[in-house]
Every structure is written in structure tokens, then in C-alpha cells.
Amino acid sequence: MVSTTAILILCALGAIVAQRVLEMRKLLKRVGDYPGWRFLISPIIPIPMPKVKWINPGWMWQMKEGYKPLAEHGQDVITMASLFPTEVSYYVADPVTIKEIFLSSQRFPKPLKFYDLINIFGPNVVGSDGATWKKHRKPSAPAFSERNNKLVWDESLKVILSLFETEAWRDKEEITIDHALDVTLPMALFVIGIAGFGRQINWSEDVRIPTGHTLSFKDALHIVSSNLRIKLLTPSWLMPWRAHWRLIDEAHKELRSYMTEMIVSRRTALVKEERYDLFSGLLDATELDNDDQRLTNDELLGNVFIFLLAGHETTAHTLAFALGLLAIFKDEQEKLYQSINSVIPNGRIPEYEEFGKLNQALAVIYETLRFYPPATGVGKISAEDTTLPTSEKGGNGSIFVPAGSLVAVGFTALHMNPKYWPEPEKFIPGRFLKDDWPRDAFYPFSGGVRSCLGRKFFESEAVALLSMIISRYKVEIKDDPAWAGITDLQLKREKVLAQTMSLTMAPKRVPLVFKRR
């Protein structure tokens, strides 16, 4: 027999749901019942659950669904309505709409509440907006110059050549690694370390733990970046309760200590080097006379952290995905090898001035980013009642956006939009070698005034590293029962290059075999 209490609870829940349904109907009516997804729980809330119709689209739906949600409704902008919370947001994969959003930063500011994860060491250039963002951006911008891009190129070559001389690689005809990130993460960290912060690390020192520390610099940074959500959501008094949580807490303390040591070392150096790296600009900004422009110590730490993290993680993940794609699509790997060999035959070391000639390598990087952009999308908030143009009705369409609405720009959906990318599911780097490739439908570096400061830094590093690897080694996928017998290359790509989310999109596990050419 059902108790009176249970009946009262069910009635109360029913009343809450009924009230929220009415509120949602009002919201949908206000936007003209614009078509789209309808869920019990908002797709914006990152819940680790499977896709359940009418309930939630599932964990990491933007990665898994791609363009499908928009294709289902036959248009490139849809609404996403939910009861918990009761809201109507927008999902956009229309270049016309996206361009307007990025060009209208005052009408569509960042929803800063979603950026608490990356402000964990202090406010920074990524987790800020408006005048505060300009304050953080100004001291960082000068470091991303041609002079520093050449430094990035040269240091990238030193890092990869030193890898080839390690005991694990030197004189070996075949090298097997369990996960591409085991190589690409330290490689990218060494480059951002020296080119961005003047911190020299090499392959032998990478595994050493300095006196006064309990974790290596690389391990501390990796543990922090992989567990930001746990650190943010778990109260400090709970952290000692589990071994993994204790390790996360330790890694945060260790990383803060490493960053503080970097700052103290540069500030107290007896010989003040004239450097043009990222670190110098940030340090100089802590000594400005203008209080409104001066960076505080917390802001300095916050920016050091975000540039260290984003500066190596994005490159490392992209290279891991690129190597996996080339290992699966061997014809494309051969095209890349022949193109590289025509520029730097017989294993010659490329000069920075030859960057433009290695266009096939950049095309591979771009096609990799089309499949696996660092961020699946970016969110904006409508600061006022406004309208956005769409490509519907021959470019004369529009959609009403009420003040306070979340507008989610879907990079993964846009990059799979067949209106702009013929055969979007296929790995075709050559599409980026055409003069008319759709630049307005490609946003791995975001767009507008908030586009990535370090784009050329990243491109210089990625092209140098990828070109040297492919010029000397054939790359293959290591045999594994998970994809044994799969001959369909698209299906194999989905299996081998399954994704997860760190700060940026990352491959779960890409086991590779490198065979000397």
C-alpha cells in the first residue's frame, strides 16, 4: 500500500514538472517555437550518462553526434529546450550566424561561470572577458611574433631530434609505444617550456624529480589538467579521503610550487637576459605603474598555468590524432612523405623559411583539427534581446534570441556540415590545398577578437614535429583485439581514435609502431 507521504511526494514532483513544462512552453513560444531538441535535462550540463531519448543526449554528445542533431531538423541552427533547468538555448553550425556572433563580442559575451575550471590557479586570459580580458591579453600578444615563431620552429626541431637520439629510439628499426600521448605530451611540453617560458627540459631530465619535489613537472601538470573537475567540485576537506584525490591535491601543490619557482628564478636572476618570450611579457606586466593594467601575482600564476596547459596539450593531442589518422590512412601518409621529401630530401633539417613549402603537413594538421578540434564548441550569452542572421532563405533568414539565452557554437557540428565539406566523414587533407576551401566554416582556433593568440606558434611547432617524424619513420597502428579484423577504414578510425575530454579533446589510447624508413 502506497503511503500518504509517497503520494504527497509524487504530487509535489508532478506539480514541479507541470510548472516547468508551462514555463518551457512560454519560452518556446517567445522564440516562435523554433525547432530543435527537447530534453528533460539540459544538454549543456555535462552528465556522464548514455544517450536517452527525451532525457539527455548523453555524455560528450557534441563529439559523438557531430552534425546529426542539425541534419535531423534540416537546418543549421536549432533550439535546445529542457525542464531542468528550464531554459531554451541555441546550437549553431551555420557560418553566417557564427560570424555574426564572433563579430559581436559585446552582444555575445562569454558565460564566465563555465570557466571556473581554468581559473583554478588565478584569473587568466582565457577565463575573462571585456576590459579584464584586454588586461590579460596585452602582455601576452607581443610574444606571438615572427621572431618567436622561428624560435618555436628551431626548438621543436631540437626536441624531436633529441628524441631520436634517446636510448629508446637510437639505432632501433622499430619502436612501439602504447599511447601516442606518451611521446607527444612531453614533446610539446618541452617546446612550450623553452619557447614560452625559457625553461629547458630534455628527455633524460623529464623523468627526474628535483630536490624538494615529490612529482616531476610533467606529471604534476598532466595530473592537474586531467582532473580539473574533481579538484573544482571536491571540497578541500574531502580530498584526503581517497588515494586518487590525494594525488590530485598533491599535483596542484607541486605545480603551484614549480610555477612559483619559475617566477622567482626569473625575477632574481643576476644576469637579466633580454628575452621576447611569453613569460617576459607576463612578468613585466606585474611591474606596471598603472593599477588597472598591472597583473597581480594570482593573475600571473593563472596565466602561466593556462599558457603552459593549453600551449602543450592542444599540440600534443592534435599530433596524436594526426599520427593515428596517418597510420590508418596509409595512402595519405605516403602523400605526406613524398611531399616532405620533395622539400627536405635525404633527411635534411628544414629551415623556418621552408614552412610554407611544407603545405601538405599543414593540410594534415588542419584536416585533423576539422575532425578533432581542441574544443567541441564555445558558449556565448546574449546580452540583450536581439536577432541573428542565418543562411536559411538564401541568406535572408534570421532567428530571435532573447536576452540571457545561451548560444552554443558547435565546432564539431560545423566541421561536419556537408554543405561546406564534401564527404565530411572522410579524411581528405587535400581539401585544404585548394584556394577556395571554406575558411568561414573552420574554427578550431575560435574566431573574432577572441581567436587563438598562439595559432602560428602551434602551426610552426606541429608542422616541424610532424614533418620530421614522417620524413624518418613509417607510422602504423599497433595490433589490438579491439579493432582486429576491421577493414573499413572509417570504422577503424572511430575505434582507434575514440575521444575523451581533458581540458581539450584528447584521444583515449592510440598505440603506434614507428618503423624506420
| pLDDT > 60? residue 500 | yes
Average pLDDT over residues 314-326: 96
Residues of the chain with CATH 1.10.630.10: 146-198+321-373+422-517
Write out the E strands in 122-271: 174-177
Provide the pLDDT for residue 279: 82
Provide the pLDDT for residue 272: 63
Average pLDDT over residues 15-42: 88
**Residue 41 buriedness (CB in 10 A; 0-12 / 13-18 / 19+):** middle
Q: Which amino acid is at 420?
A: Y
Q: Residues 243-293: pLDDT tens digits?
A: 898 998 999 999 899 888 888 888 887 666 666 677 888 888 888 777 778
| pLDDT > 80? residue 409 | yes
Q: How far apart are CA 187 and CA 201, in angstroms?
A: 10
pLDDT band for 17, please (50, 70, 90 cuts). Answer: confident
Positive or negative: CA dihedral 127, 132, 133, 138: negative
Four-way CATH pick for 146-198+321-373+422-517: 3.40.50.10300, 1.10.10.410, 1.10.630.10, 1.20.1600.10: 1.10.630.10
> Binding site annotation covers 452?
yes
H-type helices in 426-488, by residue range?
A: 455-472
Average pLDDT over residues 435-446: 94
Q: How far apart are CA 160 and CA 247, in angstroms?
A: 30
| pLDDT > 90? residue 175 | yes
Provide the pLDDT for residue 136: 87
pTM exceeds 0.75, yes or no: yes
Q: Tell me if residue 349 falls in helix, strand or coil.
A: coil
Q: How far apart are CA 142 and CA 136, in angstroms?
A: 12
Mean residue pLDDT of the chain comes to 89
Whose cell is 595530473? That residue is 223
| pLDDT > 70? residue 206 | no
Q: Tell me if residue 182 falls in helix, strand or coil.
A: helix
Residues near 199 by beta carbon (within 8 Å), at least 6 away in sequence: 193, 262
CA 203 from centroid of its chain's CA atoms = 25
Provide the pLDDT for residue 509: 93
Provide the pLDDT for residue 467: 97
Q: How far apart are CA 47 and CA 58, in angstroms?
A: 7
- Identify the DSSP state of 478: P
Provide the pLDDT for residue 50: 82
CA 71 from centroid of its chain's CA atoms = 25
Q: How far apart are CA 433 and CA 366, in angstroms?
A: 10
- The C-alpha cell at 115 is 570557466
Q: Tell me if residue 11 falls in helix, strand or coil.
A: helix
Q: Which amino acid is at 211?
A: T
Q: Tell me if residue 401 falls in helix, strand or coil.
A: strand
Provide the pLDDT for residue 247: 92
